[in-house]
């Protein structure tokens, strides 16, 4: 398995907050997650700003609708890989999410739309990962079976991987192989608050369970020194 990578969840209110943070973490964080909050407020501007800085963008909008609508949304997302100014240092969109609840036909439509649009634009197709069950969901008796069922559906539809908590990561890795990507949110250093997350883990535990990407937000965003917090997590990941 490739080296596990850190993704910073850019869950902030203003672009100025984001700009300051991106500057502070420029030499330590390579991948930034743009979710509903930032994209709703700033749209493609925030993704293109990150891409112009050479950063990888994880567009986490969890597309879930009828197949045709999701295919159109994915096509538009792939279009974000093209610099509006012809900037040669512009990084293509790295990864995006769809929700596995949408079903196999919707997931297949997303993959096909991404492949076709990437080919048409001459860009690398972004990775597509399927959301299984949100980490804010409390653990239930059949949760692991449900997550595995949705992960299998994602793989059958041609997705690159899934978003899943550390509690299901080892099961997914064992059942679906070493090349299927696992993105794990709810990462908290041992001394951090859980906030509204229910199924959380330390970076070390997530890596041991087979996660490829660790998504961290508030433990870095709310730290007195975000850079120090990020470096501490990266050091723990190396160990």
Domains of the chain: 5-238 (3.20.20.70)
Coil, helix or strand at residue 46? helix
Residue 176 has which token pair? 């679906």
How far apart, in whole angstroms, are the C-alpha atoms of residue 56 and residue 93? Answer: 7
62 is catalytic: yes
Tokens read off for 14: 């203003």
Task: Note whether 54 and 30 are within 8 A (CB).
Answer: no
Q: What does the block give as tokens for 71?
A: 């295919």
Q: 10 Å Cβ neighbour count for 54?
A: 12
116 by Cβ neighbours in 10 Å (0-12 / 13-18 / 19+) ranks as middle
What is the percent of the chain where pLDDT is above 70? Answer: 92
Question: Which band of pLDDT confidence, cut at 50, 70 and 90, is reported for residue 141?
Answer: low
Provide, for the chain, the percentages of residues in helix, strand and coil under a 3-state DSSP scheme, each rounded to the nearest 5: 45, 15, 40
pLDDT band at 137 (very low <50, low <70, confident <90, very high): low
Identify the pLDDT of residue 3: 85
Residue labelled with tokens 């059942």: 175
| Distance (Å, whole) CA 174 – CA 230 | 29
The pLDDT of residue 239 is above 90: no
- At 135, is the pLDDT very low, low, confident or very high (cuts 50, 70, 90)? low
How far apart are alpha carbons 175 and 180 in whole angstroms?
A: 10
Q: Which of 62, 75, 104, 178 is catalytic?
A: 62
Q: State residue 112's pLDDT score.
A: 98
Q: Look at residue 50 and tell me whether its pLDDT is greater than 70.
A: yes
pTM: 0.92
Nearest by Cα to 215 from 97, 63, 53, 125: 97
Length of the chain in residues, anyone?
Answer: 239
CA atoms within 13 A on the CB side of 12: 19
Average pLDDT over the chain reads 92
Task: Give residue-wise pLDDT tens across range 176-210.
Answer: 999 999 999 989 876 655 454 555 688 999 999 99
Dig out the tokens for 103 from the structure. Answer: 């079903």
Cross-strand pairs, 7: 31, 215
Residue of 215, 132, 136 whose CA lies nearest to 171: 132
The pLDDT of residue 47 is 97
In angstroms, what CA-CA distances link 177 with 126, 163, 180? 21, 15, 6
């Amino acid at each position: 398995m490739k080296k596990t990578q850190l993704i910073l969840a850019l869950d902030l209110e203003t672009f100025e907050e984001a700009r300051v943070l991106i500057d502070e973490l420029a030499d330590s964080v390579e991948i930034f997650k743009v979710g509903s909050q930032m994209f709703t407020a700033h749209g493609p501007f925030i993704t293109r700003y990150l891409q112009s800085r050479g950063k990888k963008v994880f567009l986490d909008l969890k597309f879930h609708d009828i197949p045709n609508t999701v295919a159109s949304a994915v096509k538009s997302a792939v279009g974000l890989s093209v610099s509006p100014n012809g900037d040669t240092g512009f990084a293509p969109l790295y990864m995006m999410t769809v929700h596995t609840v949408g079903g196999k036909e919707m997931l297949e439509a997303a993959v096909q739309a991404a492949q076709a649009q990437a080919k048409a634009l001459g860009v690398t197709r972004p990775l597509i990962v399927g959301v299984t069950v949100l980490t804010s969901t409390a653990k239930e008796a059949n949760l692991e079976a449900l997550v595995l069922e949705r992960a299998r559906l994602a793989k059958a539809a041609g997705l690159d991987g899934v978003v899943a908590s550390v509690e299901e990561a080892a099961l997914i890795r064992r059942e679906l192989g070493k090349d299927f990507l696992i993105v794990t949110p709810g990462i908290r250093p041992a001394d951090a608050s859980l906030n509204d997350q229910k199924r959380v883990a330390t970076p070390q535990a997530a890596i041991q369970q087979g996660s490829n990407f660790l998504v961290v937000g508030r433990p870095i965003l709310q730290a007195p020194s975000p850079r120090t917090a990020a470096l501490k997590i990266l050091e723990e990941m190396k160990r």
